[in-house]
Amino acid sequence: MTDLTCDELDALLAEFLDGTITDDQRDAALAHLATCDACTIVVTEMRGVGALFRQHGRLRLPDAARARIRAQLEAAEQDPTS
């Protein structure tokens, strides 16, 4: 695989983090990350989010917040101009 652009790495990001890309794609991603600080920051942040999710699991919104969101969505559905 040739050198990846930032956009190409972004398109592969989920699979890269999951480890489900090909060896060639992984090597190209790692080569890009070795030279791109912006993408390295994104990958580091995404790994942090993944670690938090694994640590805390799925969080549930309080019922009151869910009800407010549902009411707002239903109101917007009835009057899409609001």
For residue 18, tell me if it sits in a domain.
yes
pLDDT tens string 43-62: 999 999 888 888 887 778 89
Q: How far apart are CA 30 and CA 82, in angstroms?
A: 46
For residue 67, tell me if it sits in a domain.
yes
Q: Check residue 71 and give its pLDDT.
A: 94
Q: How far apart are CA 54 and CA 56, in angstroms?
A: 6
For residue 1, tell me if it sits in a domain.
no
SS3 68: helix
For residue 26, tell me if it sits in a domain.
yes
Both tokens assigned to 66 = 């869910």
Residue-range definition of the domain harbouring residue 12: 6-78
CATH number of the domain encompassing residue 25: 1.10.10
CA of residue 64 relative to chain centroid, distance:
27
Q: Check residue 82 and give its pLDDT.
A: 57
For residue 37, tell me if it sits in a domain.
yes
Q: Along the chain (82 residues), what's the average pLDDT of each consecutive run of 10 residues?
A: 88 93 95 96 92 80 92 87 63
Count of domains in the chain?
Answer: 1
